[in-house]
Structure 1
Amino acid sequence: MSSVLYDVPGPRAIVRNRILSVVTVVIVLIILGLIVWRLAATGQFAAQKWYAFTFTKVWLDIGQAMINTLSAFIVAAVGALVLGFVLAIGRLSDHAWVRIPVGWIVEVLRAIPVLIFMFLLYYGLPSVGIKMEPYWAVVIALIVYNGSVLAEVIRAGVESLPRGQYEAGYAIGLRKSGVMRLVLLPQAIRAMMPVIIAQLVVTLKDTALGFIITYEELLFYARFIGSQSTYGSPIVPATIIVGAIYIALCLLLSWIANAVEKRTRRSPKVDAAVVDAGLHHPVGEVTDTELIALQDDQGRRR
């Protein structure tokens, strides 16, 4: 018995895969054990190293740093999605004078690292008389870079759809904007949702680069509290706490995105009109299957 993508493993392959899985888990546990042992041996779990985190003020500052991280991420994520849609539509344009320049813009923006964007905005603009706050330097850099990446993700999702989806939309009288908005984009977004989620997680983690330009987010505060010799310079405990917060935020983002994906997994219904003998007859609610059926019906009429 086989699948389209791979052959179903036999008894020997199943045993071999199980052995490899057990060996991999054991190796990972050994590596983690060695890391924990070295941390304990160097006194990173000593009470003095964690003493700073017994103060309420420290946790309030960590909460404020987390709010700063989330505020930059939320604005950057929304802006990146909007920019991604705009650039993707430009890349899919039938007009070469729109498609080619937008394509070059996307390629250039994708090629420049996020940190370079932040440096240009925060350190470069003052040389021409424009001063930018660290928050906006972080947000704009994340929007520009991640928006260009999401543009390619959305474009790839649209172009991966069968050509019949385009033709079915045109067959019921939709213009290109209607076909794109009602037929193609909803399906492309559902298909590319895992990639979009992954890019948003990258956006969340890239907010940590803001500490280099003095934006007071989680990593900035971890470095600050970790450099306090009064509390024994608890850089490792601070890093562990901040890392745990980042992991929790990424898991929460993935859970929200998966919930949204499940809700949008239902077949979308589209209000459209069918052109027949020069008259617009309301169709009402048309599903993807009905669109293809309408296309086939029109083909038979021809």
Structure 2
Amino acid sequence: MSTVSVLFDAPGPRARVRNRIISGVTIVIAALVVWAVVAKLSSKGQLTEAKWQPFLTANLWKTYVLPGIEGTLTAAALSIVLALVLGFLLGVGRLSQVGFIRWPSAVIVEFFRSVPVLIMMIFAYFLFALYDVFPSKYLALAGVVTGLTLYNGAVIAEIVRAGVNSLPRGQGEAASALGLRSGQTMRAILLPQAITSMLPVLVSQLVVVLKDTAIGYQITFVEMVRQGTVVGSSYGNYVPALIVIAVLMISVNFALSVAATKLEKRLRRSKRAPAPMHADAALEPGD
């Protein structure tokens, strides 16, 4: 049984040879670029053993790196939890059949999706400082969490709305025939099924939350990237410092993705679920 691609024509023998040649040339060019960059950095002394030596000392990790990791993970964890709660509330609100719930939810979602995260962080930071909402040592954390929660909560609301709308219409009709109210249908039938299909897109958004904590350096928040630049400034090893921070960020993001993938597989084994959503479907403008 032959497989037919609906996205593009299958390449013939000549096209396959041409594609291999182009791929080989691209790999060679990329390797040359990497070699040139490494050679340039080596000539500047950024990759010498002495530049990496500070990372073998406990003092550097205790003073700079570990506080940055703690700040990033704390802000990300709080923002993820709050954004998920806000996103599900707004997403369900946008799906409500009651107008005074649906329209305010839609306005809130569209507003916070349109405002840059950094603007919300700065605004929240100075607003909290003006009215002494939080102690001074928590002002930066509160500003970062507020900005990330509002923006990502709005995005997650659209993911929830798209996930529920992607379910077969018969699900809601069957629930209505059984006499379930709209709230019961949403809570007991639609959301449990939609969550599994939304999971890949939600994971992508949660990774964005983790990475966007780096924006908090603008309001003096202590996080991994900021601490990496501080290490580079203190020890004169900017390139090794940023490489180490990049490896740590990649490791945390990879761990989050792996955990979510295992959760998704477990959910799919436990029940028959709809196909995963694509990210584009979650961001389609709604009514």
Under a length normalisation based on structure 2, what TM-score does the superposition of the two structures give? 0.85
Residue of structure 1 equivalent to 2:7:
6
CA distance in 1, matches of 2:132, 2:56: 45
CA distance in 2, matches of 1:55, 1:266: 46
Unaligned ranges ≥5, structure 1: 270-286, 289-302
Match of 1:135 among 141, 145, 159: 141
Equivalent position amino acid for 1:198 in 2: S
Q: 1:182 Cα deviation (Å)?
A: 2.6
Residue of structure 2 equivalent to 1:78:
81
Residue of structure 2 equivalent to 1:48:
50
| Equivalences for residues 106-255 of structure 1 within 5 A | 106-128=109-131, 130=133, 133-228=139-234, 231=235, 233-255=236-258
Q: 1:7 Cα deviation (Å)?
A: 5.3
Q: 1:6 Cα deviation (Å)?
A: 3.1
Under a length normalisation based on structure 1, what TM-score does the superposition of the two structures give? 0.81
Are positions 1:26 and 2:28 aligned together? Answer: yes
**Deviations, residues 30-52 of structure 1 (Å, cap 9, x unaligned):** 33223222221221112332232
Match of 2:7, SS state, is: coil
Whether the 8 Å contact between 2:87 and 2:153 is mirrored in structure 1 is: yes
The percentage of counterpart residues that share the same residue type is: 42
Q: 1:160 Cα deviation (Å)?
A: 1.6
Match of 1:39 among 33, 38, 41: 41
- Specify whether residues 40 and 74 from structure 1 end up closer, same or farther in structure 2 by C-alpha distance, changes over 3 A only: same
Q: 1:134 Cα deviation (Å)?
A: 1.0
List structure 1 runs of 4+ shifted beyond 6 angstroms. none
Q: 1:8 Cα deviation (Å)?
A: 6.0
**Deviations, residues 175-194 of structure 1 (Å, cap 9, x unaligned):** 22232123222222222222
**Deviations, residues 65-117 of structure 1 (Å, cap 9, x unaligned):** 21221111111111111111000001101112211111111011011111111
Equivalent position amino acid for 1:222 in 2: G
- Specify whether residues 4 and 11 from structure 1 end up closer, same or farther in structure 2 by C-alpha distance, changes over 3 A only: closer
CA distance in 1, matches of 2:215, 2:183: 38
Unaligned ranges ≥5, structure 2: 275-287
**Deviations, residues 221-266 of structure 1 (Å, cap 9, x unaligned):** 11222211xx3x2222111111110011111111011111101113
Instruction: Give the structure with the larger helix fraction.
Output: 2
Structure with more relative contact order (C-alpha pairs < 8 Å, separation 6 or more): 2
Q: Which structure has the bigger radius of gyration?
A: 1
CA distance in 2, matches of 1:31, 1:84: 43
- Specify whether residues 181 and 267 from structure 1 end up closer, same or farther in structure 2 by C-alpha distance, changes over 3 A only: farther
CA distance in 2, matches of 1:21, 1:265: 37
Task: Give the count of matched residue pairs.
Answer: 268
